[in-house]
Structures are given as C-alpha cells and as structure tokens.
Structure 1
Amino acid sequence: MAATSPFDCVLLDLDDTLYPGDTGIGAALRRNIDEFLQAKLGVSADEAAATRAELFRAHGSSLAGLIALGYDVHPDEYHSYVHGRLPYDRIARDPQLARLLQSIPQRKVLFTNSDRAHMERALERLGVDEAAFDAVVCFETMNPHLFGDDGGDRRPAVVLKPAVDAIVAGLRAAGSNPRRTLFLDDSERNIAAGKALGLRTALVGKRARSKEADYAVESIGALRRAIPEIWGEAAERSSDKLPVPAVSVVRSTTSDLDSIIIQPTSIHA
C-alpha cells in the first residue's frame, strides 16, 4: 500500500463505472425490465415504463418493489430475463482497466447491485479477472435470505445500494475505517448514502462533483489523474478535494460507526 495514501481500501461499482455509461447496456436493461413488467403485471408498454420509474423511486429497483408489493418473483427469474438478454458485446475489452486495477495498492472490493452471473459476464467482456479484487459484494452477497427456503410468510426485503444495510455490507468487505475507504460509483444516490456513513466518495462518469462527492472522475481511465492520492502521489496539491467529513452527518442503523469496522473477509457470493 502507498505509505502516504489517505486510503486503505477502494470500493468500486461495476456498471457504468468500470465501463462507460454510453455502451447502451443501461438502455437495454430498462427495455428488458419494461418487458418483464408487461408480462408479469399484464400492463401496456407505457404503463410498464411508468411502473419501473415508480418502483425505482420508491424501492430502489423494480425487483425490490415487486417483492415488497407481494408479487411472486424469484431473483433468478428476474435477473435471467433482464440481464440474461443484454447486449454484452457492447462492452469492449479494456486492457488499460486491468492494468489500472493491478496498480492500485490498496485492498480492492467490487461492490455491485448486479447478480453474480451479470458481474461475471461483464468482467469477462472487459478482460478483467475476478481475482483482481480482494472481495466481491453483489446481489447474492447482500441478499442470501432471498435464496433460502424458510417456509415462513414473512415478506423478505431486498437489500441494494443505496440502503444502509448494503453500504454496511461493502464496509464489512472493506474491513477498513470508512474515513479511509474510497467509494467509486456512478449513482449520486449511492454516493450520498456512502457519504452519510463516512466514506470518502468519487462520482464516476461526471465532470462535476455532486454535493456528497469528494471527487468527480470523468471515466475510470482518468482515475490516476483525478485521484493521485490513491497511489500516494501529489496529495499536497489535492488536499482541498478531501474535506474531513463531519461526524454529525453520519446516519447509521448501528449505535456506533466503529462497530462496522471489522477485519477484512473474502466475500465471493
């Protein structure tokens, strides 16, 4: 690890973070979700699109919303339809990304809401080995309760970023002080949630920082130029980018932020 770096771990989102947001994957995903909702709910295309937007607003994802509302939807059924039909050939191999990840001296955790099958296909297209990461937090990691058979009537909740429980799962995989953990994500909602738990944050795919982001990174390829502190470089020239987070903004379901700082574990769902 770089001795002068302010970071002990880097949490990295996958979609629209490790590959560009203009691949068309996101638009294809939305179309697939709309088709799934049309079939599952028996609604028109316009109604499906409106429902998708409302489920995302209220529950964080369409799957989370469907389960919360009591629909009989298994995560594997949902993911095989909305992810299994994506145009993965639009994700280009990126040797530079593989070299960049290898160069990061800190512990690296891949932190995605996506299911493992999607994650594996995306990494394969990028030419990045899963072993490039010290741990993986994905849909299955955060939601093991959705894959068991407890025979009960309790309606399970889906855990995804930006929920506190999801961010805590990322922190547990990081095994480091939140204030020394850098979180990269393309979603302003996820960045805000990470900031509320004390993480240092970098908004990816944007030229300007959001209110809760310590950094803006136009693309993952620009990471070393945007945040040289990761490698212990030029920290004195960039210290104004790293304000010390106020303890008063921390909102956690735990009684003490330090209670979620544990030793790193290898999480591979």
Structure 2
Amino acid sequence: MELISSQNSPFECILFDLDDTLYDGEIGIHGFLKKNIEDFLSIKCKVSPEKAFSLRSEFFCSHGSSLAALLALGYDIHPDEYHSYVHGKLPYELIQPDTSLLHLLRSIHQTKILFTNSDREHAKKALMRLGIDENIFERIICFETLNPHLFSEDPLSPNMDQIVVLKPSPSAFHAAIRISGYDPHRMLFVDDSEKNVVAGKSLGLNTALVGKKVMKCEDADYLLEGIMNLREEVPEIWKMNNWSTTSVRA
C-alpha cells in the first residue's frame, strides 16, 4: 500500500544495536569483557594468560567470537556457561541511567527492535542499568534468537555451515529482517561496528554508524558521533504525520 504523502518518514522499523551504541563504549565495559573472555579461554583451553590474550584476537578474526571458535574446535561448552562467565562478571554499575536516551526512544513511533549479538540476560541487565524498559522494543533479537539450534536437543544440523550465527553474518541479518516483517529498504540499522554496517547495507538496510571516532564509511548512510545525535542527523525518523492507515509490511 502506498503512503499518502512524500513527507512521511522513509523508515518503518529501526534496528538498534546495544553495546557501545545505546551507551558510550568509552565507559570501559568492553575492556572488562575482553579480560573475562581471556580468563575463560585460559581455563577452558588450559593456556597461559598471555596465550589466552592472543587466542581471543585470533578467534575473533577467524570465527567472529571466542564461543564460535571453541564450539567449532569441538570444546564441550554450552552458550549459557560462556555467557554467564564473560558477562556475569561485568561491572554493570558503569552503565548509568540515561533519561535523555529514554526520551529519544519514546519519541520514535516506528517499530523499534533491539538487535544484539549478546545473550538475553546481558541485554536485560544493560537496559535495566540504562533505565530503559525492555518493552519499549517490540522485539529483542539476541544470541538465543539467532542460535536456537544451540539450545535444542539436536543442536547442530549436519548441513549447517555456521555453528554460531552472529552479526555481521548475512544469516543474522536475514533472521532480523524476517523477524521484523518489514522491507529492508524501509528499515534503519543503527550500530557501532563498521563491519556490521557494511553487512547490513549489502542486504538493503539503511544504515547509521555510531561512534566518536567515526570519520567516514561508504556503506553508512548516516554517521553519528553518539546515539543522541540521531535526531539531528536523521530527522527523517520523525516525519510521521501522514502515515497511511493501511501501510503493509513486506
């Protein structure tokens, strides 16, 4: 169904990343996360802290995450065990309530979906610390959403190429687009990772790259110093006065 006015927003759905996007990455959470991952690797792989440091980097480059690498290498690790260790030890108190962010999200009347590689428990804790009710999002797409096969009795299909599905994998974006029910060309994807933005753009999403160090990215339609620059840099979101009452999802 066509919209009745060219003044309407081009976006019907906004996909928001969580970590280092809805809160500033400079608060230091990521540093603690890396250390926790290295400690986990040191224990599970029985290696020195120095070797664990290099493994974390190698695993990220080769598999996208340490968990994905460990599972691919045949380690008997359940995702909940991994996440409870690497996220359970995080100093969540570093994430402070953000009423400005809350007001920003409330002002966006399109469908809002949280799209994160993190597990659901971490997402809930981070949102709680931010003072954001998770129900402000129509859906939370997280590790469990993207990897239901890892939580079933038959965890791996013999034809499955990827053991773990995460952004920037096309499979992760296909899942998010399918779950949203919207045409990707009518969606805006907001993330702090250039790799994720490039992947999203390749599948037709409109993209916004977040980060103070962001200078240029050909695949980003919008560059934001921080999430609070969204209204200034993407004012089209708030052009909502004349939606057709029968606008249809893809």
Q: Could you state the TM-score of these two structures normalised by the residue count of structure 1? A: 0.83
Contact 1:93–1:125 (CA under 8 A) maintained in structure 2? yes
1:109/1:173 contact within 8 Å kept: no
1:198 aligned partner, one-letter code: G
Asked if 1 retains the 8 angstrom alpha-carbon contact of 2:156 and 2:163, the reply is no
Give the aligned partner of residue 237 of structure 2. Answer: 230
Summarize the alignment of residues 186-225 of structure 1 with structure 2, pairs less than 5 Å apart: 186-206=192-212, 207-225=214-232
Aligned residue-pair number = 236
**Match for residue 253 of structure 1?**
none
Counterpart selection for 2:13 from 1, 9, 13: 9
| Maintained 8 Å contact 2:170/2:199 | yes
Partner of 1:176: 182
Distance 1:45 1:216, change over 3 A: same
1:50-104 superposed Cα distances (whole Å, 9 cap, x missing partner): 1111111111111011111111111000000000000000001001111111101
1:1-269 to 2 correspondences below 5 Å:
4-150=8-154, 154=158, 157-206=163-212, 207-232=214-239
What is residue 248 of structure 1 aligned with on the other side? none
**CA distance in 1 between partners of 2:249 and 2:104 (Å):** 25
Structure 1: gaps (5+ residues): 234-261, 265-269
Contact 2:95-2:129 at 8 Å conserved across structures: yes
Shift of 1:152: 7.1
The structure, 1 or 2, with the larger RCO (C-alpha pairs under 8 Å, 6+ apart) is: 2
Residue 18 of structure 1 aligns to a residue whose secondary structure is coil
Distance 1:139 1:218 in 2: 27
The SS at the match of 1:22 is: helix
Please give the TM-score of this superposition, normalised by the length of structure 2. 0.89
State the alpha-carbon separation in 1 of the partners of residues 126 and 226 from structure 2: 17
Unaligned ranges ≥5, structure 2: 241-247
